Amino acid sequence: MEMGINQASTYAVWQKWAKALQRQLERIAEIYEAHEEGAEAQKLKNYIDRLKLFVDPVAHAQELARRNYDVKGSYNKLYMLAMVSLQLLFREALSFLLQVSEDMQRILDSSYINCNGRTASDVFKGPHGTQYEGIGNGLPDLPDRLPWVLYQLLEQADVGGEEYLHRGLQRVEEPADALAEGENAHPDRHEYHQRNKKITATGVQ
């Protein structure tokens, strides 16, 4: 099932699904809050705040520098930082979406298959029938839901390596340094081994 994703760069494809994940989790956080489950809502909001940094990383270059990410160099370096970080964030999402789905089934009193209303349908099957954005049962075993998409992207990255991550990116030499200027930027101390950092529910450690 191709989904038409081979027509764009790997970066553009991952950005598309990072935005879809962000939208869906924002919707779910609102549901948690509406049902007085603020702690769970806050966990999602903390994750979303980190995810946003790597959705259009150029726009967030100053904040990334403030957090001691190495963002000096070309725009392509920012793009690759986003790709590496999104791998970690997508894996993290796959680790908690099962619990989120179970919570939503309980709160909305609905199964993920036979939804009992528009809100449940938007959560489990995707808003307005965009099935690839629904979280389903939270596991990557349903081939038309968001967890499956995230799992497939990660599998492609594991198999394709850096060649896959760079696919479709044009060589961009313009420096991104000006975007990253900030009082707490320390590029020499935080080189590309940043990819191995563990991302938790409270931030980058």
Render pLDDT for 97-127 as a digit per residue (tens, 0 to 9). 999 999 999 999 999 999 999 999 999 999 8
At residue 172, the pLDDT reads 45
Work out the number of other CB atoms within 10 angstroms of the CB of residue 70. Answer: 21
Phi, psi of 188 (to 5 degrees): -70, -25
Which residue's entry shows tokens 């696919």? 167
Calculate helix-pair angle for 75-108, 10-34, nearest 10 degrees.
Answer: 30
Does the global pTM surpass 0.75? yes
Which parts of 54-145 fold into alpha helices (H)? 61-66, 75-108, 118-124
